[in-house]
Amino acid sequence: MADITLKKVEVVIVGFGWTGAIMAKELTEAGMEVLALERGEYRDTYPDGAYPKTLDELTYIQRSKLFQDMSKSSFTFRHAASGVAVPYRQIGAFKPGTGVGGAGLHWSGQHWRVLPEELQLKTHYEKRYGKKFIPEGMTIQDFGVSYEELEPHFDFVEKVFGTSGVAYRVKGEVVGAGNFFEPSRSDHYALPPQKVPYTAHLFHKAAAEVGLHPFVAPSSNASGPYTNPYGCQMGPCNFCGYCSGFACYNYSKASPQVNIMPALRQVSNFELRPNCNVLRINLDGSGKKATGVTYVNAEGKTVEQPADLVIASTFAYNNAHLFLVSGVGKPYDPVSGEGVVGRNIAYQTMSTVQMFFDPDKNTNPFIGSGGNGVAVDDYNGDNFDHGPVGFVGGSPAWCNPAGVKPIAGIPVPNGTPAWGAGWKKAVKDNYANTVSFDVHGANMVYRDCYVDLDPTYTDQFGQKLLRFTFDWKDNDIKMSRYVTDKMLAVAKAMNPKSIHVSVKNFGDHLDLRNYQTTHWAGGTAMGTDPKTSVLNRYLQSWDVHNVFAVGSSVFPVGIGYNPTGLAAALTYWSARAIREQYLKDPRPLVAA
């Protein structure tokens, strides 16, 4: 029994990051009474991003100020179902956010769309390469929505985020030096592209010399002053280098706090409650309709919040946890292959190429912006012939000078002593004389990579932790090594004195100790078949029609790009379906 039962609201949103904020804005515009519940504390640009305190790597990165407190709630991991899962006890390989804004407050600002074939991955590969080309045990499937359907939403997201970039083709006509492989856009970016730092300039020059198609990457770090469609204002980025892991003090990096919350504050039909940890979605006796949620408030009281409509907008895999503890959808069983909640978990591969130059190069690595840089898409998606190489997926590659930090960002060449005078000399000689770029690849989905509820470990509220069963597969390692090897031509064209490559080897396990990327996806996959997806094409639960889920958890496959742009566009797609279809006649929007 709950300690407190409150008056019913029309909509309750669980989690208030990018997708929760977008959904709140859309549904308040529809005239609905919207309540957002965020488990973490209230955060805003001031005081959480106040200058100069925010420029503190020790506090924000090493001591994880904006990240989830693993002592209160964590996850467990194992590499295979035969292994023993253990808790993720400190921030390492990825950095889940907490508090208002979520990871949307501490993200870098890299803003990508998606390649059209990645939305229809299974259909595309079977049509071009045949069904036998897809490895046994790989469970790729289509999203159930096309790029053409999402394009207007991609465009609007870029207008809301104040995205800086340069288009290649608009309305079918070549208009600029953008991404040669990008499909035609309906409009230009909201702002002109960011300035290109010296290291990215070197990468652009070298990539062009070896026959690739470099372009200035899209960035949600504003290249100039901007007012978005909601009337929210942004200031131009000053390349301070403190984006990823930090709240932007300059109102230059897009975040829910900068780009949506000022508009939500103006309306009376929206309420945000921080420090409210939702335990479960409540269902009626039939199990087919949600009646609201139960949460624990800041005083430790259990609160029942009735609602007509529930939106799950938690970070990545947490939507799967919420569905599992609530009984929304059938849990996935990897042995039988039946069930859907927890299925198709994906991460991302990452390899890094570092080049070391003579001491007079002076690359000024402290200058940076989270999303700026130069990228190539020649080996992303299906932009190259996969037939001879024998793997599914690809990788964009980019030189992203985001600002090398004084504690974690000290690259030294191979053979450098771990400490002492030799190490100090290497740091001094190389800090300002290096260039690096990343090969940031798609991780496919597999029958034996999934999440479920851990039978042993619980959180501070006594709920079972989410358990990951996940490891790298040969397909993804083969892809990453292939693309990295191709990109070495770019590194060599820069003519450095030495090159260091960090790339996974066959047989390597996922290592949770060192940061890689925060880009998890899946667990509540969308699709067209209720036997393989949790949600229909409008992100509505197949089983409980007044429950929707948004965020990267809805991706049924991994993609090469960062997920924020696609997650945001899908949220607008879902919100339009709610506004134009569901509210007029609450029902399943797709027949099961």
Residue 499 lies inside a defined structural domain of this protein: yes
Cβ count near 415 (within 10 Å): 8
Quick one: pLDDT at residue 507?
93
Cβ neighbours of residue 418 closer than 8 Å, sequence gap 6 or more: none
Cβ neighbours of residue 402 closer than 8 Å, sequence gap 6 or more: 108, 241, 243, 244, 368, 369, 370, 372, 373
Residue 98 lies inside a defined structural domain of this protein: yes
Residue 591 lies inside a defined structural domain of this protein: no
In the numeric block, which tokens belong to residue 92? 């390492």
CA pair distance 416, 420, nearest whole angstrom: 10
What 3-state class would DSSP assign to 126? helix
Secondary structure letter of residue 359 according to DSSP: T
Please tell me whether the overall predicted TM-score, pTM, comes out greater than 0.95 for this model. yes
Domain range for 221: 4-584
Give the total number of structural domains in the chain: 1
Tell whether the model's pLDDT for residue 106 goes beyond 90: yes
Query: To which residue do tokens 């995205």 refer?
Result: 163
Residue 274 lies inside a defined structural domain of this protein: yes
Tell whether the model's pLDDT for residue 516 goes beyond 90: no
CA pair distance 158, 554, nearest whole angstrom: 20
Quick one: pLDDT at residue 468?
97
Mean pLDDT of all residues belonging to the chain:
96
Pairing of strands 9-14, 34-37: parallel
Domain of 361, CATH number, reads 3.50.50.60
CA pair distance 193, 220, nearest whole angstrom: 10
Question: If DSSP states are collapsed to H, E and C, what string results for 207-276?
Answer: HHHCCCCCEECCECECCCCEECCCCCEECCCCCECCCCCCCCCCCCECCHHHHCHHHHCCCCCEEEECCC
Quick one: pLDDT at residue 592?
86
Q: What is the pLDDT of residues 177-230, one digit of tens each?
A: 999 999 999 999 999 999 999 999 999 999 999 999 999 999 999 999 999 999
Residue 133 lies inside a defined structural domain of this protein: yes
Q: What is the pLDDT of residues 417-450, one digit of tens each?
A: 999 999 999 999 999 999 999 999 999 999 999 9
CA pair distance 176, 180, nearest whole angstrom: 10
Residue 332 lies inside a defined structural domain of this protein: yes
In the numeric block, which tokens belong to residue 256? 């829910």
Cβ count near 462 (within 10 Å): 7
Q: What is the pLDDT of residues 314-337, one digit of tens each?
A: 999 999 999 999 999 999 999 999
Residue 590 lies inside a defined structural domain of this protein: no
User: Which residues does the annotation mark as catalytic?
Assistant: 519
CA pair distance 6, 420, nearest whole angstrom: 62
Closest C-alpha to 381, from 371, 370, 392, 390 = 392
Residue 264 lies inside a defined structural domain of this protein: yes
What 3-state class would DSSP assign to 407? coil
Quick one: pLDDT at residue 514?
87
Quick one: pLDDT at residue 64?
87
Secondary structure letter of residue 397 according to DSSP: E
